[in-house]
Chains A and B, each alone.
Chain A
Amino acid sequence: MSPIIETFALTRRFGSTVAVDAINLAVREGEVFGLLGPNGAGKTTMLSMLCTILKPTSGTASVDGYDIVRQHAMVRRSIGIVFQDPSVDADMTARENLQMHADLYGVPVSEQNDRIQSVIELVRLEDRVDTFVSTYSGGMRRRLEIARGLLHYPKVLFLDEPTIGLDPQSREHIWDYIQKLREREGMTIVLTTHYMEEADRLCDRVAIIDHGRIVALDRPSDLKKGLGGDTITLGTDDGRVLRDLLVQNGVSDVITVQDGEVRVTVSDANVLLPRIIEAAVGAGIRIEHVSLSHPDMNDVFIHYTGKDLRQEEVRRKRFGRMAMMRLRRAR
């Protein structure tokens, strides 16, 4: 099956900076594909080009079989977009916003009411559909935007930082909707995010972008495995004996001893931990404590980009969303 999105050396420059640098990637039909990267990595630029808002400097891409440069009207019919910055009209009701969208996308008038009803139910805004959007919370607006993006039955849904600036509960809701969509509609979803957990939980595959290039692309679980596996830390009175024993048993070759603590790197800690304990008990070695750590997406990210996204998250939170928007505009 040919990919639903394919980019061919897609490039965008702004003056002398290269925001997206000759990216080639393919997104399969029906998958949730994540673009993960720090601020300014080129995620939004990439998305804007795929949505035909921004023309590439060179290279091109196809979305649902249409060329983004030559056939942008067809591409626009095939996609739904939820922008990073809010884009609903707050002076209108949710229903009016949806109706306008349906008209702009040529949804037949006879189908409009049914479709509006079904998307509004999906995001659970039935009670508020006829109130002005200016009275909505940030999470509700986001949900409305997702509903709107679905109204014309797009083949591909683009979500630019879908949960940025939302409280944990709203974020959880949005994640639920995205999962529902993918299960129920089999829709292809491309999302950008700088939240590790989001990429990990939602995406079938993740591309890590830094300085406009893809530095890694794989399933989240494989990206994590690629780092060399889990770490088991064992506390014992004689670390050296334990180490020799484990090397003998062929548990792992990567073992370090420090202050009586033995750190063992293994491919799958959940399976190997019982074997290690058994071997230690069998040899009469007392184990005082055990701890286990799996690498998370943040470790993957640091590994590939040398940057700690959690730090950025803290910074972002301190600034707040409005400040970020102002910065963005000022640039």
Chain B
Amino acid sequence: MSEIRGIYTLWLREVKKFLREKPRLLNAFCQPLLWLFIFGTGLRFSANVAGHNYQEFIFPGLVCQAMLFTAMFLGVSVIWDREFGFLKEILVSPVSRPSIFLGKMLGVSTDVMLQGIIIFPFALLIGASISPFVFLRALPIMLLITVGLTCIGLVFASLMKSFEGFGLVQTFINLPMFFLSGALFPLSNVPQWLVWVSYANPLTYGVDALRTVMMGGAWAPLFPMYVSIGILLAFDAVMFTIGIYAFGRTE
């Protein structure tokens, strides 16, 4: 019972901090707008993806991108807790390490979900028809994407000594995962090596599943839904296990 209380309080802290950080919320709101309206408009008229409205095409990709970047940033920002000493207060409490990890993970995941959901109203602005039903079907897929990504961020936080290393995460995790997920271009017309590398990226399955749900018949899925869901579940399970292990050995 006290473990659950501990998990709850750690979750609450993450969510409170996320909602209080006004500049970050503003940024969360505005950055996808730039991608959608400037980048999206530009490419729509210069390098059109056959058969699709480019903005509608990248919209699910941008949801994934926003979640990816937020998960990495918030996950790694556990380093600040260590820097400012607060992590010690948590680690020395009677709450077990797996519970601490779970509380953090749930908290950051909630933030990441909020970040993904914030973007949905923009779909109306680009003329995509996203009904409440489609939105509700997108949520579980977003959750599956979120959990795994959040765990990656937290694992990095437990490995890194200081926040200066975040640049490396940006270059070697965020951008490759984003570019190699099929978020910005379809994987149907690219060289084979790019296809293979993208297939090794769990986010590819997230983007594909999300597109399948959001674009309906206009999108020909790369994988059947059960394959995407299965791979996302496996990805979550593996990252969660690694996360528990990584947090267990921090002194």
B1-9, B57-65, B198-206 - interface stretch: B1-9
> A85 at interface (Cβ–Cβ under 8 A)?
yes
CB of B52 within 8 A of chain A? Answer: no
| Given contact pairs A53-B88, A86-B84, a sample of 15 additional A-B residue pairs in the complex whose CB atoms are under 8 Å apart | A53-B251, A54-B251, A88-B85, A89-B84, A91-B17, A92-B17, A99-B9, A100-B9, A101-B89, A103-B5, A103-B6, A104-B95, A105-B94, A106-B5, A106-B94
Tell me how far the C-beta of B101 lies from the nearest C-beta in chain A, rounded to whole angstroms: 14
> What are the interface flags for A77-115 relative to B under an 8 Å C-beta threshold, 1 for contact and 0 otherwise?
100010101111111100010011101111001000000
In the complex, what residue of chain A is closest to B91 when comparing beta carbons? A53
Whether B20 is near chain A, meaning CB under 8 Å from some CB there, is: yes
Residues B251 and A52 in contact, CB atoms below 8 Å apart: no
Select one of B8, B17, B92, B96 contacting A103, CB under 8 A: B8
Q: Which A residues are CB-close (under 8 A) to B86?
A: 87-89
Q: What residues of chain A lie closer than 8 Å to B6, measured between beta carbons?
A: 103-104, 106
A73 part of interface (Cβ distance < 8 Å): yes
- A76 contacts which of B1, B92, B251 (Cβ < 8 Å)? B92
How far, in Å, is B111 (CB) from chain A's closest CB? Answer: 14
A181 CA to B80 CA, complexed, in Å: 33
Contact with A along B65-93 (1 / 0, CB 8 A): 00000000000000000001110111111
The distance in angstroms between the C-alpha atoms of A87 and B89, with both chains bound, is 6
Closest CB in chain A relative to B17 CB, distance in Å: 6
Per DSSP, chain A at the interface is loop
A63 at the interface (CB under 8 A from B): no
A51 within 8 A of B: yes
Instruction: Find out whether the CB atom of A87 lies under 8 angstroms from the CB atom of B88.
Output: yes
Interface residues of A in 135-168 (CB under 8 A from B): 148
Q: Are A104 and B8 in contact (CB under 8 A)?
A: no
Contact in complex: B13, A52 (CB < 8 Å): no
Known A86-B84, A91-B17; contact A73-B9, beta-carbon cutoff 8 A = no
Q: Chain B interface mostly helix, strand, loop or mixed?
A: helix
Q: B10 → chain A, closest Cβ, in Å?
A: 8
Using CB atoms and an 8 Å cutoff, list the residues of chain B in contact with chain A: 1-2, 5-6, 8-10, 12-13, 16-17, 20, 84-86, 88-96, 251
In the complex, chain B residues whose CB is within 8 Å of the CB of A81: 92
Report yes or no: A92 in contact with B16, Cβ–Cβ below 8 A: yes
Contact with B along A279-303 (1 / 0, CB 8 A): 0000000000000000000000000
Provide a sorted-by-A list of 6 A–B residue pairs whose CB atoms are within 8 angstroms.
Answer: A52-B92, A76-B92, A86-B84, A92-B13, A100-B9, A103-B5
> Which residue of B20, B85, B93 is within 8 Å of A104 (Cβ)?
B93
Bound: A92/B14 CA distance, A = 11
CA distance A172 to B166 in the complex (A): 42
Find chain A residues with CB under 8 A from B92 CB: 51-53, 76, 81
Q: Which residue of B lies closest to A87 (CB)?
A: B85
Candidate in B88, B92, B96 with the most chain A CB atoms within 10 angstroms: B92
Output the nearest chain A residue to B90 by Cβ-Cβ distance: A104
What is the CA–CA distance of A51 and B92 in the complex, to the nearest angstrom?
7
- Closest A residue to B3 using CB positions: A106
A86 nearest CB neighbor, chain B only: B85
How long is the Cα–Cα vector from A226 to B195 in the complex, in angstroms? Answer: 81
Given A53-B88, A91-B20, A103-B8, answer yes or no on A77-B94 (Cβ-Cβ < 8 Å).
yes
Q: A53-B91, A87-B86 are in contact. Are A103 and B16 (CB under 8 A)?
A: no
Q: How far is the CB of B88 from chain A (nearest CB, A)?
A: 5
Within 8 Å CB of B85, what residues of A?
83, 85-88
Residues of B within 8 A of A53 (CB): 88, 91-92, 251
Q: In the bound complex, do residue A73 and residue B84 qualify as a contact, i.e. CB atoms below 8 Å apart?
A: no
Chain A: which residue is nearest B1 at the CB level? A106
B90 to chain A, nearest CB (A): 7
Cα–Cα, bound, A255→B17 (Å): 69
A179 to B93, CA, bound (A): 25
What B residues does A90 contact at CB under 8 A? 84
